[in-house]
Amino acid sequence: MINHIKNLARHSSVYTVSTFVQRALGFVMLPIYTDPTYLASRSEYGDLTLVYTFTAFMTIIYLYGMDAAILRYFFLGRYKREEVYSTGFWAVLANALLLSAGIFFFAPHLGQLVFGGSQYDVLIKLTAVILLFDSVGNLPYLVLRAEEKSLHFSAFRIGRFLLELILNIVFVVFLKQGVLGILYANAIASVINLLAMLPFQKKYLRRAWDWNVLKTLLWFGLPMIPNGVAYLTVEVSDKFLMRFLLNKDLLGLYSANYKFGSILLLVVIAFRNAWQPFFLKIAREANAKQIYARVLTYFTLIAAFLIIGASYFVEYLLKIPLGAGRHIMNAPYWEGIKIIPIVLTSYLFYGIYVNLTVGVYIRKKTKLMFIFTGLAALINVGSNFYLMPHYGIMGAAVATLLSYLVMALTIFIANQKIYPVPYEYGRVAFILLYLSAMLAVLYGFSPAWYWRVALVAFSPALFYVFRFLRPEELNYLLRIVKTAGGSGR
């Protein structure tokens, strides 16, 4: 078991680095994006958020579950990998071309719908270009994941980040193009990314597709569309609704702080990139379910510690001065810091949800996923309509937390019926109770910095006192410490 988990941890750690780098652009550029010199107001930052919201929703339609289907039938199925990948690739490309043409044609109407004005049509058209090249250009990354080439995966993700960073500096800082410049940078990077990834799909890509393979992929992938739309409703409907229920100024405030809360989402995405190939690969082994259970415990423990550490110290991090009156996140956005711990906790439950997808993938019950995400979406929209007008951006954050909690609970109930796994309930419950207590202290007492240091430092000791670690886990940790100590001498 330990060797399997070490392998998963190794690939997850590599994917974590690449995912952080891939998504780091928004963090690295935050001092610029929150500076009125470059984005004139919080409302303009709100426009950028609406661009990303539209892009996220359309990505689901562009891929229509083909990415998940390709990955699934790479491992479990009767078709050759070349047949699976070629068919999926050409199907995604044909769909992407049709959709981008449609977006170009209806750009003024979509601008009115998304932003509240037809003058935003140029942003919509640039988004269509980005969606076209990203939907096709990201498929070769599935090959790298399937072949467990996590280092190659990370290298190309890092390369794209550096390219996009340079282009952002050119278009936003020097040319002062604002949101338009951010999209120009993204579009150019998308084209170059597609060209760079072509060699990695060469051995799987053929000139024709197989209709039987296509029907199989569609049978698996199409149910992902309502599931994906429902999930995106949970993830981004708060941003879209905020334009109507509050205003774009508060949307900008909320989105800038939400970005730091979504740090844990990057960890979850990185874990998911390694987790899906991993659990499919070992599904036929005798102790697979025991491994799945232990992974959930370890994931919950690591995520809880990350939430506590980030929640207790993010305020001080964001207020670090950079000179010339600038900070990591500039002063007009500080009042939104209070939402960050809630957003972080939301993504813990999303990570638990990702852990629990084992059963629906192995049993080919992906149609059920719409039930989990659909119910969560309904709760999200309903909660936002009530909480946002009464509690502002804090209400929107709580609605997100409630939604992900529902997703985790519903998939757990279903998973245990179709593919029972002996999860370590007591240990997971202890972690969640401790996390709840630490957040209650933070919100209830807002302790001074030295108390925060003491409380966070005390956390590992408490787990030791309550004998959370099992003997074999404790012995393994002691061996790591001894090995590290020996290498340091």
Phi first, then psi: give them for residue 38, nearest 5 degrees.
-110, -45
As given in the structure block, the two tokens for residue 182 are 């951010």
**pLDDT for the residue 437:** 97
pLDDT at 461 over 90: no
Measured between alpha carbons, how far is 423 from 435 in angstroms, rounded to an integer? Answer: 19
Q: What is the pLDDT of residues 23-56, one digit of tens each?
A: 678 878 988 998 888 987 899 999 999 999 999 9
Q: Which helix (H) or strand (E) holds 198?
A: none
DSSP three-state, residue 446: coil
As given in the structure block, the two tokens for residue 6 are 């070490």
CA dist 236 to 109, 126, 381, Å? 21, 20, 10
Q: What is the pLDDT of residues 148-191, one digit of tens each?
A: 787 888 888 889 989 999 999 999 999 999 999 999 999 999 99
Q: What is the pLDDT of residues 394-407, one digit of tens each?
A: 999 999 999 999 99
pLDDT at 229 over 80: yes
Measured between alpha carbons, how far is 405 from 349 in angstroms, rounded to an integer? Answer: 6
Q: Residue with structure tokens 């209650």? A: 440
Rounded to the nearest integer, the mean pLDDT of the chain is 89
In angstroms, how far apart are the furthest CA atoms of the chain? 68
Average pLDDT value for residue range 349-378? 91
Measured between alpha carbons, how far is 9 from 15 in angstroms, rounded to an integer? Answer: 10
DSSP three-state, residue 412: helix
DSSP three-state, residue 211: helix
pTM: 0.81
Q: Binning pLDDT at 50, 70 and 90, where does residue 378 land?
A: very high
Q: Which residue has the higher pLDDT, 209 or 212?
A: 212
Question: Which letter does DSSP use for residue 328 in this model?
Answer: S
C-beta of residue 22 within 8 angstroms of C-beta of residue 160: yes
